[in-house]
Structure 1
Amino acid sequence: MLDALYRIDEFRHLFTERELVALRFAEIMTTGARDVDESLWDELQAHFDDGEIVEIATVIGLFNFFNRFADALQILPASDSEVKE
């Protein structure tokens, strides 16, 4: 499934419309949060209630923070063998 996220256009059929809207929101929030436009907001509200939108935005924001924090401190992800230990 992770591979499908990297090539979302090729694997759109694996996701529900609701999931695709959330993924689009995540991408835009990550690459340029000010680019969340009225069209995307309308799509979000069609699939999620206000509380769910806040939860999704919180998770996206936290993961963006963790990634930037790790990048700034040059913390590399653990290898598969390190995770298993």
Structure 2
Amino acid sequence: MPEIDPVTDASVRSDLEDVLEECEERGTPGTKAIKILAHRPDVARTFVDNWNASFYEGTIDHTLKELVRAHLANLHGCEYCSSVGSNVAREQGLTDEKVRALAQFESCDLFTEEERVAIRFAEAFYNNQHQYDELHEHFDDGEIIELVWFVSLQDAGEKFVTSMDLRPGSCEIPDDHPLADAE
């Protein structure tokens, strides 16, 4: 399927400039995906508003959500989503070493049990196995809703990016990104 070209910077409506600046500053969602959504500015803004509310706000630790996001990107095999990352999580102490260790999250001592539970849930969700029992041991009902909504949004975002052909070759992983030397 041919890729839909992102809108050019010159054609981004003025009411979306702040959205793109915020995405650039925070590191995710990636601006190329948002510039594709900008063909429908109302959709772009709604997506980013939803994304920000579920990813950057709430009671669940943001770095935990970034680990879940990165793991889902890896499961989807999405180079585009793997190439972006939360600058906020980095500022909060998420290390490149931990992001690179996601493939071994079950056995790696860098991960807390709460992080393992959330990542396991995201992996089960990705495989259409919706398992909530273990979540109740670590999260309250509101946090479960927050996590499930975020995982749903991320999974849908991965599918959107894939359908828009933002996969291999459309975005190079920056040299300073944690996954750049993971191969």
Relative to the length of structure 1, the TM-score reads 0.75
User: Which one-letter code corresponds to 1:28 in the other structure?
Assistant: A
Q: Map 1:3-82; keep pairs closer than 5 Å.
A: 3-11=100-108, 13-32=109-128, 35-37=129-131, 41-76=132-167, 78-79=171-172, 80=174
State the secondary structure of the residue aligned to 2:147: helix
**Greater helix proportion:** 1
Q: C-alpha displacement at 1:14, in angstroms?
A: 1.2
Identity of aligned residues (%): 35
Give CA deviations for 1:28-85 in whole Å, capped at 9, x if unaligned: 00121xx234xxx23211110011001111111111111100101101363217xxxx
**Is contact 1:4–1:10 with CA below 8 Å preserved after alignment?**
no
Aligned-residue RMSD, C-alpha: 1.7
Query: Which structure 1 segments of 5+ residues have no match?
Result: none
Q: C-alpha displacement at 1:10, in angstroms?
A: 4.1
State the secondary structure of the residue aligned to 2:171: coil
Cα distance in 2 for residues equivalent to 1:17 and 1:9: 9
Relative to the length of structure 2, the TM-score reads 0.38
Q: Which of these two proteins has the greater Rg computed from alpha carbons?
A: 2
Aligned residues: 75
- Kindly report structure 1 stretches of 4+ aligned residues shifted beyond 6 Å: none
**Is contact 1:44–1:53 with CA below 8 Å preserved after alignment?**
yes
Q: C-alpha displacement at 1:16, in angstroms?
A: 1.1
Indicate the residue corresponding to 2:18 in structure 1.
Answer: none
Q: Indicate how the Cα distance of structure 1 residues 17 and 9 shifts in structure 2: closer, same or farther if over 3 A, else same.
A: closer
